[in-house]
Amino acid sequence: MIAAIEPTSTWYLILAAVVFGIGAVGVMVRRNPLVMFMCIELMLNAVNLSFVALSRRLGDIGGQTAVFFVLIVAAAEVVVGLGIIVSILRRRPGATADDLSELRG
Amino acid sequence: MSVVVGQQFSNGFAAVSLIDLIVFVIASGMVLGGAVGVIASRRPVHAALSLVLTLFGVAVHFVAMEAHFLAAVQVIVYAGAIVVLFLFVIMLLGVDQAEDLRTERLPIQRPLAAVMGLGVVGLLIAAIVASRNTAPLSVGVGLDVAGQATADGAIVENDANIRQLARNLFSDNVFAFELTSVLLIVAVAATVMLTRRERKPVDDEAAT
């Protein structure tokens, strides 16, 4: 009976693993630095999803606290990373990750 | 949702479990479709909008797992601030030219990336499935769920998730919480330094 099937934390963990894999492939394949950054966000979200799923399975609120800190660090990381990308692309418009082998302008 | 609540649902009315299943399937479709869209769309703006779809799907999953505060923060911070920041950068720099995804400078890079991605996903799923029936570590004291009856019959408040999260955040992790303020200040100062336009003295003289 289909009503007996209930999404357990294993389902959420498998979904998080698939999203993490998609993000990892995106970082390795794409060359636009902005899109690579978005793929890093994908991986962070997959980890957040698994944190909350394990928080529910173990009955511990600490997993959700960890997600809170991941959100803050992701925001700070995006701010600094986009600042670096803006200053690089302002000097070299249209640069891809293949052209950027060093941070010096 | 704690284990007790899940048992109540499956014993009491099985329709709730079916709704959980439907919500899970739809939200997972949003998450996976958005994730594929991020890595497959040729324009960065389309990738950013696909990222919004993924983030909303993750927020729906958070609601389904009774993490209401994190769902709200996910929408406000990620979809409201971070993706808008991405869009600002894309629009300001005008870097929205379509990337040609068919040419590849390193010919082996794409198959190698696919093999590595499949390997990572396979290893993770194997580890998850192998450990799915292990007894949970007795670390937690249970999650308070919004509007549910506790064991002694008392109805907890509707914002029990936020209360419990705040109690954990400001008692056990208060030092880390204070450190994040330092991190944000450093990030803002570093960004101002990084994106500062250096003035050339020639331009100043020409302007005046």
B95 with A94: CB under 8 angstroms? yes
Residue B109 belongs to a domain? no
Residue B55 inside a domain? The answer is: yes
Count the domains in chain B.
Answer: 1
CB contact under 8 A, B92 and A62: no
Asked if the structure places residue B20 within a domain, the reply is yes
pLDDT of residue B194: 83
Per-residue pLDDT, B156: 55
Number of neighbours of residue B91 by Cβ within 10 angstroms: 11
Is A98 within a domain? no
Question: Per the CB < 8 Å rule, is A15 touching B31?
Answer: yes
- The DSSP secondary structure of B57-93, one letter per residue, reads HHHHHHHHTT-HHHHHHIIIIIIIIIHHHHHHHHHHH
Give the residues across from A74 on adjacent strands. Answer: none
Band of residue A103 on the pLDDT scale cut at 50, 70, 90: low
Distance, in Å, from the CA atom of A80 to the CA atom of A82, rounded to the nearest integer, reads: 6
Residue A71, pLDDT score: 92
Contacts of B35 (CB under 8 A, 6+ apart): A19, A22, A23, A42, B50, B54
Chain B nearest CA to A57, separation (Å) = 7
Q: What is the per-residue pLDDT for B1?
A: 42
Number of domain units in chain A: 1
Residues comprising chain B, all counted: 208
Contact residues, chain A, for B66 at CB < 8 Å: 56
d(Cα B45, Cα B97) in Å, to the nearest integer? 10
In a domain? residue A17: yes
Q: Does the pLDDT of residue B154 top 80, yes or no? A: no
Q: Which residues numbered 73-132 in B keep a CB inside 8 Å of some CB on A? A: 73-74, 77-78, 81-82, 85-86, 89-90, 92-95, 97, 99, 105, 109-110, 112-114, 116-118, 120-121, 124-125, 128-129, 132
Which of A1, A37, A42, A99 should one mutate to test binding to chain B, selecting the residue with the greatest count of B CBs within 10 A? A42
Report CA A34 to chain centroid distance, whole Å.
13
Helices (H) and strands (E) in chain A, counts: 3, 0
- Tell me how close the Cα of A71 comes to any Cα of chain B, in angstroms: 8
CA A69 remoteness from chain centre: 14
Select the residue of A22, A67, A69 nearest B176 (Cβ to Cβ): A69
pLDDT of B66-92, one tens digit each?
Answer: 888 999 999 999 888 899 999 988 888
Q: What is the pTM of this model?
A: 0.82
Band of pLDDT at residue B5, cut at 50, 70 and 90: very low
Contacts of B32 in chain A (CB under 8 A): 15, 18-19, 22
CATH of residue A68's domain is 1.10.287.3510
Q: Is B149 helix (H, G, I), strand (E, B) or coil?
A: strand
Q: What residue of B is the nearest CA neighbor of A42? A: B35
**CA atoms in the 13 A half-sphere facing the CB of B140:** 20
Nearest to B191 among A28, A34, A83 (CB): A83
- Collect all residues with Cβ–Cβ distance below 8 Å to A36 and sequence separation of at least 6: A26, A27, A30, A97
Distance CA B4, CA A64 (A): 20
How far apart (Å, rounded) are the C-alpha atoms in residues A95 and A101?
11
* Reported ipTM: 0.89
Give the range of the structural domain holding residue B93, as residue numbers without chain letter. 3-100+158-207
Q: Are B79 and B34 in contact (CB under 8 A)?
A: no
pLDDT at residue B4, as a whole number: 45
For testing the chain A interface, which of B148, B194, B196, B197 should be mutated: the one with the most A CBs within 10 Å?
B194
Lowest mean pLDDT among B31-40, B59-68, B93-102: B93-102
Q: What is the pLDDT of residues B104-148, one digit of tens each?
A: 667 788 888 889 999 999 999 999 888 887 766 666 666 766 555
CB B4 within 8 Å of CB B151: yes
Asked if residue A61 is part of any domain, the answer here is yes
- State the DSSP H helix or E strand holding residue B47, giving kind and residue range, or none if neither: helix B44-64
Are residues B112 and A61, on separate chains, in Cβ contact within 8 Å? no
Nearest by CB to residue B89, choosing from A1, A82, A94, is: A82
pLDDT at position B136 is: 65
Q: Are A52 and A64 in contact (CB under 8 A)?
A: yes
CATH number for the domain that contains residue B8: 1.20.120.1200
Q: Residue B35 and residue A10: Cβ atoms within 8 Å?
A: no
Residue A104 counted as domain residue:
no
CB B55 within 8 Å of CB B78: yes
Q: How far apart are the first and last CA of chain A?
A: 63
| Cα atoms in the 13 Å half-sphere on the side-chain side of B79 | 20
B8 and A CB contact within 8 Å? no
A68 contact residues in B (CB cutoff 8 A): 70, 73, 165, 169
- Within-domain flag for B152: no
For residue B168, being part of any structural domain is answered with yes
Q: State the Cα–Cα distance between residues B111 and A29, nearest whole angstrom.
A: 9
Q: What is the extent of the structural domain holding A73? A: 9-91
Whether B38 has its CB under 8 Å from any CB of chain A: the answer is yes
pLDDT on residue A33: 86
